[in-house]
Structure 1
Amino acid sequence: MIKISEAINIITKEAKLLEVEKVHILSSLNKILAEDIYSKDNLPSFDKSAMDGYAIKSEDTKNCESKNPVELRIKGIIKAGDYYEEEIKCGEAIKIMTGAAVPRGANAVIEIEKVNTVKDKLILNSVVKKENNIIKMGEEIEIGDLAIQKGKMIRPAEIGLLASLGYKYIHVYKSPVISLIITGDELIEIDEEPFMGKIRNSNEYSLRALIDNLNGKYISLGVVSDDKNILKEKIKYAFENSDIVITSGGASVGDYDFIEDVLKELGADIKFTTISIKPGKPVTFAVYNEKLFFGLPGNPMSIITAFEEFVVPAVNKMMGKNNLVKEEITVVLADDFKGKKGRTKYVYADIIKENGRYYAYNVGSQCSNHLITLSRANGIVIIPADIGSVNKGEILNGKFIFK
């Protein structure tokens, strides 16, 4: 068995950055930008009002105070999207809405709630500073400025910014195509009733959801029976049509576990077959023509753990992300947790922040086929290989899972 950190290092070394593709900005969410984005405009492209109020000349209020109010004549109104053609003169004011263009000659906007009006007269009782409540042209960004740097993950905020700058299409790094091969004669469809010796094919649905969570793409090759020749053809096809191949089950040492034999026959370079982790020990990682292969265990908790810990870093690197693995946090154990020495243990728990610290609560059995435990958890506690059971109050590392 190799250590978890060693396995991740081997995987990320073999994972290669994918090609660039041009996509519509609405298809770029959570992808990594593959180009620098420069502003084609000044934002805003005109001086605009930050408030509902009145556009005025600030010098008209030079000596204004409650005992010496100033009266200005209201000439009209400007709503957002309109433009006032005339130039405002001394002693005049224009009612203006938020986002509307400030008229020529005006250099300040006074909030509507700070003034009084009588018919067409605006009454002010205090000095208004120059540029008050005015967002200046180019204040946000100017033509030619770098707006979004290459390597940035596109979030809803970036999509909004791209739209405001007139970018409809951008270049991003491709998401990997992942082929899924689920092995096992014991598997039936999820809408079938289980009978003696059969179980529903939950692993495929877990893997599809995990890939969707990463913004990846998948090809499902369905359930493959425990037949070496059929498995070989499926894996060969998957290598030809995807960037990553994942199998579920068949990676152990049973009489019907053919993964390692098939990889050798295809000429794949097998890097390792077991990792010192619980759950998720039997993980086979191989490389074939720069395509990555992950033979994951068949137990539901094991396959999800192995995917999050070992597949996710590879996908992140291929998509151009900088943070390949999830950040670890310090957690205080709120309950006792059982374990045995020998392998690093990932114990699923409910991690809650209380009084500035993270506390980990027991959510039930850690048996590797218990999905119900995963559904109750939002993170894991990491128990080192040289430690067995741990007790309430001890401090360990942990991390949140999924998103």
Structure 2
Amino acid sequence: MVTIEEALHIIEDQKIILKSETKPLEESLGYALATNTASPFDVPEFDNSAMDGYALCGLYQGYQLVGEVAAGDSKEILMNDGEAVRIFTGAKVPQNTSAVMMQEKTSVKENTLFLDEMPKAGQNIRKKGGQLEEGQEVFIEGHILNPPSLALMGSLGLENLKVFSKPRVNIITTGNELVKPGQPKTEGQIYESNSYAISGALQQFGFEHHQKTQIQDDFEATKAGIKTALESCDILIISGGISVGDYDFVKQSLEENGVNELFYKVFQKPGKPLYFGRKGNQFVFALPGNPASSLTCFYVYVLPLLQKLSGYPKAGLTTYQFPIKHAYENRFGRPSFLKAAVFDGKVEILDGQGSSMIQSMAKGNALAFIDKEEKLEEGDLIKCKLIS
């Protein structure tokens, strides 16, 4: 058995080989860049108007109107001193523009423009290279592409991006008692739910499962199912069958399939019977069968490795500290991840902390961590990982 810290260090210290691929811009959200990116040209490429109004030549309060420039126009207009042109947001300003005055502070009578106030040199003009200069670094390798990143890459004319590939994930659930939702069940059976929690958590953080399989509690079936799953994944997540019962065949089946155990059992609650192993460049997590335990282990242990294999510069959920709304004492005898709700900057430990109880986790938004035999008073700080 290992401690939480030891388990996390073992996962963090795994040597990995990152894979890269080229993806279309519109499919790159949530991926990490596999190369540094520099701007191929100045942004903006030309001086342009920051708003609808009038481009002015000289600084006066009255001008003669001599034309109009819309966004996208390539025509050149030469203004003389004391002249102005109607201009729109994003349009290239004439070469000798002194300033742009917003239309709300102007009036026009016949062909003469009048300003409500004196203009200031350079006002409302976006200067060439004001955001980026040609050759300037935009992003470094490992930058995670968010929506603004995609907008910026698009503005640079980059149609395809070189990114780190995300790991292929397969899911196996085990248990004779499990029935697929929507199917009839008999007394003693339950509807299978862990695969939906795991696949949902994967989607929540931008990952997908490649294959999902349900296996009965049978050694040969378990061994064969694991063998098949390992043929097409980088990470295999197994739910259930990892404890020490007569029908728990996962650990032995992993050994038979050449998976090297890196740790088994973590001194924590929930999720003590957690397994982590490796076969070549493939990784296996065998999670407890209880729903809350399984999902807790995913957030704490599986997610960091998924992100590491995706080239993320920092992996895992960030830990925050919040004051607790009420006194709480850890009576479980082990360091514990507690289902909690963070609201208005304070933490409430929810009822229903049992490993099989998923309702409280569904209503909460955090995992609060409390050490073995720790006792907290109202207002004391408690560590939390926000899960939604």
Structure 1: where are the runs of 5+ without partners? Answer: 62-69
Q: Map Cα deviations across residues 302-332 of structure 1 (whole Å, 9 max, x no partner).
A: 0000111110111111011122222222222
What residue in structure 1 maps to residue 358 of structure 2?
Answer: 371
What residue in structure 1 maps to residue 385 of structure 2?
Answer: 399
Q: Distance in 1 between matches of 2:277 and 2:234?
A: 12
What residue in structure 1 maps to residue 278 of structure 2?
Answer: 287
Q: Distance in 2 between matches of 1:248 and 1:19?
A: 27
AA at the equivalent of 1:364:
D
- Aligned residue for 1:161, secondary structure, equals helix
AA at the equivalent of 2:364:
A
Structure 2: where are the runs of 5+ without partners? Answer: none
Q: Map Cα deviations across residues 240-272 of structure 1 (whole Å, 9 max, x no partner).
A: 210011111000000011112112222321111
Cα pair 1:334 1:361 within 8 Å, conserved: yes
1:120 counterpart = 2:111: yes
Matches within 5 A, 1:107-256: 107-124=98-115, 126-256=117-247
Q: Map Cα deviations across residues 173-207 of structure 1 (whole Å, 9 max, x no partner).
A: 11101111100000001112442011111111111
* Structure 1 length-normalised TM: 0.92
The structural deviation recorded for 1:210 is 1.2
What residue in structure 2 maps to residue 49 of structure 1?
Answer: 49
Structure 1 window deviating more from structure 2 (151-160 vs 89-98): it is 89-98
- Aligned residue for 2:223, secondary structure, equals helix
Q: Distance in 2 between matches of 1:126 and 1:339?
A: 68
Structure 1 window deviating more from structure 2 (165-174 vs 102-111): it is 102-111
Cα pair 1:58 1:129 within 8 Å, conserved: no
What residue in structure 2 maps to residue 265 of structure 1?
Answer: 256
AA at the equivalent of 2:261:
I
Q: Distance in 1 between matches of 2:63 and 2:339?
A: 69
Q: Distance in 1 between matches of 2:355 and 2:178?
A: 17
Q: Sequence identity, in percent?
A: 31
AA at the equivalent of 1:382:
F
Q: Map Cα deviations across residues 50-96 of structure 1 (whole Å, 9 max, x no partner).
A: 1211111124x2xxxxxxxx431111222212244330112211011
Matches within 5 A, 1:63-142: 70-124=61-115, 126-142=117-133
Cα pair 2:40 2:135 within 8 Å, conserved: yes
Q: Distance in 2 between matches of 1:282 and 1:368?
A: 12
The structural deviation recorded for 1:151 is 1.1
- Aligned residue for 2:336, secondary structure, equals strand
RMSD over aligned CA atoms reads 1.7
Structure 1 window deviating more from structure 2 (370-379 vs 110-119): it is 110-119
1:329 counterpart = 2:312: no
Cα pair 2:330 2:371 within 8 Å, conserved: no
The structural deviation recorded for 1:129 is 2.4
Q: Distance in 1 between matches of 2:305 and 2:115?
A: 64
The structural deviation recorded for 1:391 is 4.6
Deviating above 6 A after TM superposition, structure 1's stretches of 4 or more consecutive aligned residues are: none
Question: In the comparison of the two structures, how many residue pairs are matched?
Answer: 388
Structure 1 window deviating more from structure 2 (378-387 vs 11-20): it is 11-20
The structural deviation recorded for 1:214 is 2.5
AA at the equivalent of 2:31:
K
The structural deviation recorded for 1:18 is 2.4
The structural deviation recorded for 1:15 is 5.4
1:6 counterpart = 2:12: no
Q: Distance in 1 between matches of 2:264 and 2:217?
A: 19
